[in-house]
Structure 1
């Protein structure tokens, strides 16, 4: 009798285990849009965000849908002319690639650049022209001292002087824009206004020949070396992916200073590389629900749920703060808007 009982228990456990595993697999299956195309040929101007949106209600799940090819370099890259095919393997949907050119082992030569995560004109200027510095970095930065003719506004100045003895190298000249509060610490946004190269130097001053000027230079403007900066850590080609699981961030303000932001605006958010933020990390935006009381129940406060109002993508992570692009907004986005990493399974 005991032997039959043990067999019954073992058989029941095995059935339950199989059922739980099958249910887990079922729950983990990506949800594909009903009108998703079976095949799609990439054209110039496409973005990963747009293509992912053709197939998924949660475009940040692109890495799960995209079947990367391990036989080529940079396997997540997609090029104009590539043919994408929607297939199902082991009950899971995935996009596979039929490239426009023949692949050789570990190499893929393309005349055209790969498509970007979002439209390049929306984020590239901010990667090249904007910097965020904390108070310590700002105070230790070199400054424009002036020009020999004593002018305050250095428009079309060919040669200006900056503080300190500097080696011959390229420098960017930046103007302070606005300051943000990051957990009680000030962070200042800078915008590049000119570029140049150090040509001579002594113990106190270095002469900088201006090669590109976007607006007038003033004494006191910040000067930062273009060598050894975080630029080397940035890549204009990245892909959307969920932000770190369980992470919560907040908007610190608009980079341009407006009270509210909308789609395609750039904002500063809390959290950076120390919190696992990367280029392409996605967050969902929520409008916080109000609290309310009923006339009949004045002793009870009701907290209404927050409402999803859009998405945000990190485009430039720093140590513990980041620049981010609002990719979609159905309501004004302000400092009271909540940010949460989207569910990695795509459910809300």
Structure 2
């Protein structure tokens, strides 16, 4: 809930950004983690701003935040290295206690006096008094606050790629048949599912009713050691449980009844690809809304690209595509970590040498990626910027 009351805004030094009379009730405010290091860096920067050398060459003198903007985009607009988010936050520290709560309509002014850059919502050197009539308005902060990245780029991958142990998918309930004995199924079709004997599907209170459909898990192998890091299951669609597994008494030839097994019934509510008998079901996780804080890792990262999401036929990943890397939670990788992509130098034949010697070209920084989903030994990263295509085996390291 936001409450707008009469307020006097003054320029509290060249750095200050006053966000207006926006008050966020504690129960409604988003509460995303901010590390002590990030807060300390922001506090230090807020005292005088950042050196002009750290500004992006075309940093605008003023900018009005628009719907559709992202925190990453605004960081890149003002800073040479967008992942240096604490510095951008430090430029806003006195008025934006939570950097995730930046809203469309705020105008930022850039002050570059004294060799340091600072931001303010009032033109530098001016004192502004704003009077508005008291009123109350209710709206969703999660809908208005700027996201770090454009949500449509990563939302599908928050549920699609699933890294599991070898036996998890093999023991999951499987589709055994469909109505009219169809071979292939799509959204809107009804299917029948058989669960594990030790954990049958039940349509009882407290049991899952919504499932995701997966197919064969593909081994994710470390490109350096060849070790299997996990198995990536292929996401196919969604299903809703209609009836659980049961037994039904049917007449037999001896004049009695025999209890016969009856599989569970599900309706396919969405299908990314055609679904068939043998595909597996796993409970759908609760939907969560996540804001990612772009930042450099606090630990040394030297990862390799394990796979390009989208199938084995994809040889190169481009901007806004997703790749898996060979480090995960146990290696200190966290959602929000920004990494430099380093392309391996190719081995070529030196045509200028009489002996046609083979030489290796140097590896080159090729772009930037941000981790957005982590598992124990594997993580998924979105490619934010790229010069040339990313291949399996390319490195991802701490940004410089």
| TM-score tier after normalising by the smaller chain length | 0.7 to 0.9
1:83 matched to 2:107? The reply is: yes
1:174 and 1:194 in contact (8 A); partners too: no
**Alignment partner of 1:142 out of 173, 176, 183:** 173
Inter-CA distance 42–91: structure 2 relative to 1 (3 Å threshold): same
What is the distance in 2 between the residues matched to 1:111 and 1:269? 30
1:61 paired with 2:84, answer yes
Q: What's the offset of the Cα at 1:74?
A: 4.9
How many angstroms does 1:95 deviate by?
4.8
The answer as to whether partners of 2:339 and 2:369 remain within 8 angstroms in 1 is yes
Distance 2:142 2:379 in 1: 33
- Once the two structures are TM-superposed, the CA of residue 129 in structure 1 deviates from its matched residue by 3.1
1:220 aligns with 2:252: no
What is the alpha-carbon distance in structure 1 between the residues aligned to residue 172 and residue 145 of structure 2? Answer: 36
Q: State the SS of the aligned residue for 1:325.
A: strand
1:256 paired with 2:305, answer no
Contact 2:173/2:193 (<8 A) preserved: no
In structure 1, the gaps of 5 or more residues are 1-24, 344-348
Match of 2:234 in 1: 190
Quote the Cα distance in structure 2 between the aligned partners of 1:109 and 1:194: 28
Q: For the residues of structure 2 that align with 1:162 and 1:70, how far apart are their CA atoms?
A: 58
> 2:266 aligns to what?
208
Give the equivalent residue in structure 1 for 2:295.
Answer: 241
2:195 is aligned to 163
Counterpart residue number, 1:121 = 152
Change (3 A) 1:111 1:243: closer
Q: TM-score, normalised by structure 1?
A: 0.73
Deviation at 1:342, TM superposition (A): 0.8
Structure 1 residues 97-130: Cα deviation after superposition (integer angstroms, max 9, x where no partner): 78x9x9xxxx996484322222222211222333
C-alpha separation in 2, matches of 1:136 and 1:97: 56
Asked whether the 8 Å contact 1:160–1:210 carries over to 2, the reply is: no
- Offset at 1:282? 0.9
Deviation of residue 213 (structure 1)?
3.7
Q: Give a deviation string over 1:67-107, Cα, whole Å, max 9, x none.
A: 36588785423222123344689986455678x9x9xxxx9
2:325 pairs with 1:269:
yes
Judge conservation of contact 1:146–1:162 (CA < 8 Å) in 2: no
Cα distance in 1 for residues equivalent to 2:176 and 2:348: 57
CA contact (8 A) 1:79 1:112 kept: no
Which of 194, 215, 222 aligns to 1:175? It is 215
Q: CA deviation at 1:131?
A: 2.2
| TM-score, with length taken from structure 2 | 0.65
Q: Name structure 2 gaps, 5 residues minimum.
A: 1-46, 123-129, 133-137, 204-208, 248-260
For 2:397, the equivalent position in structure 1 comes to 340
User: How far apart in 1 are the matches of 2:108 and 2:341?
Assistant: 30
Please list the CA deviations of residues 218-237 of structure 1 after superposition, one character each: whole Å capped at 9, or x if unmatched: 111120101xx4x56x5442
Residue pair 1:172, 1:192 contacting (<8 A) in 2 also: yes
- Secondary structure at 2:144's aligned position in 1? coil
Instruction: Determine if contact 2:309/2:324 at 8 Å carries over to the other structure.
Output: yes
Give the match's secondary structure for 1:242.
Answer: coil
Counterpart of 1:309 in 2: which secondary structure?
strand
Aligned-partner Cα distance in 2 for 1:249–1:70 = 37
